[in-house]
Amino acid sequence: MLTVRRVACSTKWSRLASASASGDKYKVVVVGAGPAGLSVANQVYNRFKSAGKPLNSGDVAIIDSAEFHHYQRLTSTRTLVGAGLKQKTEFRRPLASLIPKHLTHVNENVKSFSPETSSVTTASGRSLTYETLVVATGLQINWNGIQGLPQALSDSTSGISSIYSYDTCDKVWADIESLRSGNAVFTQPAGVVKCAGAPQKIMWMAWDRFRKTGRRENIKIDFYTGMPTMFSVKKYSDALNALRVERNVGGHFQHNLVAIDPANHKATFSKSDGSKIDVDYTMLHVTPPMGPLDFLKGSPIADSAGWVTVDQGTLQHTKPEYANIFALGDCSSLPTSKTAAAITAQAPVLTENLFSLMDTGKISNARYDGYTSCPLLTGYGELMLAEFKYGLELKETFSSFVDQSKSRRLFYHLKKDIFPASYWNFMVRGQWFGTRGIFRPRF
């Protein structure tokens, strides 16, 4: 059994002695069983084992009450469903089936954090204490952030859909297939978006479907985005904007969808100058606003916006008194795009620093450079592979061979076929390390 060396954080570890004796005690508690939580829980367990200091079965607990685990948690893979390429059932599996027996599954949700006593409390009132905490809860989609949206999504005849809901992602395909003429409007909000390229991916797939089936000339396509450009990284933004112009797709920047009037088929957008405009639509694909989970807002481990505040390199909490807390993925304050690719780069760094902290009392030299990837579908059989790091600097895997701002069939099959297989067979098992594949980086 691992013996934790209490070097740099002895005060913190001593708080465990004062924690409620009736609570469950674990060496590592992971909150959230999405791609980030499952990846890091398995990597932590494997890291101690590879160091010859194996944890006992049950030393690592994962807290999550979800019945199903969704591939990449509501992200752009649903574009494949909305584009008619996959069935949505292919992208979810029972959560319990993905948690190995040596990890404890606490089938509840966390209600509150008590970092001063190194404990969390679940919705039922159960208290769990930890030596180290990893927060990987993801973000939430604010469906009510757009007036009239929830009701419109539930109406099969509204012409309104979204790939960001498991319940409606297949409705996107139905709406694309049934549209014969009129206005197809696609939206993206300003601010944080899960996989920021997804809102236009489904637009490009719809454009290509309309073209292939001879309907394009009768359908006007417009992209309304709260962002000032097509993409945050200039190289890809320029390429996407050129594609937009070439394909005669309207671009309306710094326009945020705020309300929908399904009865009159009107969408209301707020502009950067504070004014509002109404836009007629026949089909409307909505990307709703997103943000931190409600239970994180106001918690002692979160910043004023509600994100778990961590060092952007080490992924350790920024408050010295909370040195035994880490976070990764969508719930964190890391200034990078919120994608599964980012998690594959973050998890090994977090794992190494957590292992080092528990083993020596100090974190290691492992640092996350902000790497993320956004596979941008631009049509059937083509994809632009955007890869970058902090500062929106390029960090491309294939740049020595090809221009990654050009859409390619090889990249398309990476997303459609290779990435899903890698996800289920390796990533959620803690055996996938981003661009390094199955080879764990040495720090």
Active site residue 331: no
Rg (the chain; Cα; Å): 22
Question: What's residue 60's pLDDT?
Answer: 97
- Round to whole Å and give the CA distance between 385 and 226: 23
Q: What would the pLDDT profile of 278-320 be if each residue is shown by its tens digit?
A: 999 999 999 999 999 999 999 999 999 999 999 999 999 999 9
The CATH code belonging to domain 149-290 is 3.50.50.60
pTM above 0.85, yes or no: yes
* Mean pLDDT along residues 183-210: 94
pLDDT tens-digit map of 367-404? 999 999 999 999 999 999 999 999 999 999 999 999 99
Instruction: Tell me the C-alpha distance between 45 and 101, whole Å.
Output: 12
Q: Is 3.50.50.60 the CATH number for 25-139+292-371+414-436?
A: yes
Q: Which two tokens stand for residue 93?
A: 């599996």
Span(s) in the chain for CATH 3.50.50.60: 25-139+292-371+414-436, 149-290
Residue 241 structure tokens: 């904007």
> Which residue is catalytic, options 9, 169, 195, 331?
195
Query: Quick one: what percent of the chain has pLDDT higher than 70?
Result: 93
- Provide, rounded to the nearest whole percent, the portion of the chain with pLDDT above 90: 82
Distances (CA, A) of 195 to 188, 256, 274, 412: 11, 17, 27, 16
- The residue with tokens 């969704």 is 70
Alpha carbon 16 to chain centroid, angstroms: 32
Average pLDDT for 30-53: 97
Q: Catalytic: 195?
A: yes
Q: Could you give the CA distance from residue 127 to residue 123 in angstroms, rounded to a whole number?
A: 10
Return the pLDDT at 3. 40
Closest CA to 71 of 88, 47, 54, 49: 88
Per-residue pLDDT tens over the stretch 92-101: 899 999 999 9
Q: What is the pLDDT of residue 77?
A: 61
pLDDT tier at 6, thresholds 50, 70, 90 = very low
pLDDT of residue 10 exceeding 80: no
pLDDT tens digit string along 60-119?
A: 999 999 999 988 655 556 788 888 888 888 888 999 999 999 999 999 999 999 999 999
How far is 264 from 185, CA to CA, in rounded Å?
15
> Of 9, 169, 331, 374, which residue is the catalytic one?
374
Question: What is the distance of C-alpha 128 from the center of its chain?
Answer: 26
Torsion-angle region of residue 325: left (phi > 0), alpha (psi -120 to 50) or beta? beta
Give the model's pLDDT for residue 195.
86
